[in-house]
Amino acid sequence: MALLRNCSIFLCLIALTYSASVDNYENSKVQLEEYIQNKKKDINPRFRPLYHVVPPVGWMNDPNGFSYHNGEFHLFYQFYPYDSVWGPMHWGHSSSPDLVNWKTLPTALLPEKEQCFSGSAVSDGDTMILMYTGHASIDVEPYYNESQYLAFSDDGINFHKYEGNPVLPRSPNGSPDFRDPKVWKRGDDYYVIIGSKTSDNRGRVLLYKSRDMKNWEFLNVLGESNGDLGYMWECPDFFELDGKFVILMSPQGMAPQGDRYKNTYQNGYIIGSFNYDTNEFVPEVPFQEIDYGHDFYAATTTEANGKRYVVAWYSMWEMAHPEDVDGWAGAMTMVREMSIVNNRIYMKPAEAMVNLRDGVAVDGDVGSYEVREFGKGVEIFIDSDLNQKIDVLFDGRDGGGKVWLRWNPEFRKVVVDRGANDVREVLWEPVGSHTWRVFLDSSSIELFCGEGEAVFSSRVYPHGGWRMVNESPQALRVKAYNLRRSVPE
């Protein structure tokens, strides 16, 4: 009887401790939202986008939990609210009915003993389940460990962490780099892939299977670097698209090769085939970059209404973030729709972007060295003779950042040049349309060539709206639309 009584007391103490922990966590969430509301008053809006998702305050990096749940798109992100530099990771949260008009929701996850690193989301009826990497400090080298955690929500806004965390405490080979789970459901089974590395520092993606998301079986190494694709594969994704299977990932440690792989870290994909009976992925097309610009990382996808959409962190590690002095840093790219054509991924802006058009700004020829001026948000179609050079300068009406878009028919390359030899370029062979579709926002440019076979995403920081100067030897046919705001100020 004494033993039973002692056990009862012990269980009560555990319950009280857990209850107090939950109360403290909920109080921390309330305090954080109060802090954010107050801090927003101090934000300098000069570079704040009109139609790209950004943090309400503080720092943003990788997109997380990009998903479609109960008729709404959800986009979470790595978030540190208390400074405009990287810090203990939270999950910020935005939602949208159409991938274009976004609202900011309360912070979804706060760190406790673990930082809340990147992950994904899946719907189970009315329940939304987050799976994320818990990054925790330990007392021995390498002084950190990464495990996989769960959190649940019945309303898509308020999340509670699973009491049994972590559900995947360690990698099969003991590597401490074991992060960024991407989960999906097929039939009655859940699958997840996780980024990791081999014992000799080659990036790899691990595949697991579960019936309940709590108990996982390791199936296979889905993909692995042969030594040329970096020492770590971050933020992996895996999906079927147009009859093929795709591993999308962000390799760290790839050496530059001519025009390719010039960013700090890369983002790209391997196309192949996959068999759910053998759990084997067979590569058919070697690694390719998915975006050729300066600022595109940690891309992640979701499927809805028969389409596959992708979004990425609109920034890059180890680079300057001029907005950080304004109380915030980091952004998300526009959401793009994906397809596979000729063994390559093409990307086009989400269809609903056309609903942001708010009047025609230019419609006609722009002669050599003629100038046009715009506000902070504009969509521009440029048609030209590809047998002649194209050289278009976009800069600030009041100075600040500038960028050139160029084409030389001799080399058949599209060039995005931010000056000071900060150049990104790629061979372009149009498959249909020869049009450039350019999206300018308060601190960014996105260029879609032709059918989306070459896309560039780069941050640029003009002052006082945009100016376009046609420095080409030919006149350009230009149609431009002003774009309205679709994200909170």
User: Using an 8 Å Cβ cutoff, are 84 and 324 in contact?
Assistant: yes
- Whole-angstrom Cα distance, residue 282 to residue 428? 28
Of residues 62, 177, 291, 441, which has the active-site annotation? 62
Encoding tokens for residue 241? 């698209």
- Whole-angstrom Cα distance, residue 171 to residue 147? 8
Q: State the SS3 of the chain.
A: CHHHHHHHHHHHHHHHHHHHHHHHHHHHHHHHHHHHHHHHHHCCCCCCCCCCCCCCCEEEEEEEEEEEECCEEEEEEEEECCCCCCCCCEEEEEEECCCCCCEEEEEEECCCCCEEEEEEEEEECCEEEEEEEEEEECCCCCCEEEEEEEEEECCCCCCEECCCCCCECCCCCCCCCEEEEEEEEECCEEEEEEEEECCCCCEEEEEEEECCCCCCEEEEEEEECCCCCCCEEEEEEEEEECCEEEEEEEEECCCCECCECCCCCCCEEEEEEEECCCCEEEEEEEEEECCCCCCCEEEEEEEECCEEEEEEECCCCCCCCHHHHHCEECCECCCEEEEEECCEEEEEECHHHHHHEEEEEEEEEECCCCEEECCCCEEEEEECCCCCCEEEEEEECCCECEEEEEEECCCCEEEEECCCCCEEEEECCCCCCCCEEEEEECCEEEEEECCCCEEEEEECCECCCEEEEECCCCCEEEEEEEECCCCCC
- What are the two backbone dihedrals, phi and then psi, of residue 83, each rounded to the nearest 5 degrees? -165, 165
From residue 450, give the alpha-carbon distance in Å to each of 383, 435, 445: 10, 5, 16
From residue 373, give the alpha-carbon distance in Å to each of 366, 395, 463: 12, 10, 12
Other C-beta atoms closer than 10 Å to the C-beta of 217 total: 10
Encoding tokens for residue 48? 């704040």
- Whole-angstrom Cα distance, residue 232 to residue 123? 29
- Whole-angstrom Cα distance, residue 117 to residue 139? 20
Query: Is residue 383 annotated as a catalytic residue, yes or no?
Result: no
User: Using an 8 Å Cβ cutoff, are 367 and 469 in contact?
Assistant: no
Q: Which sequence positions are flagged as catalytic?
A: 62
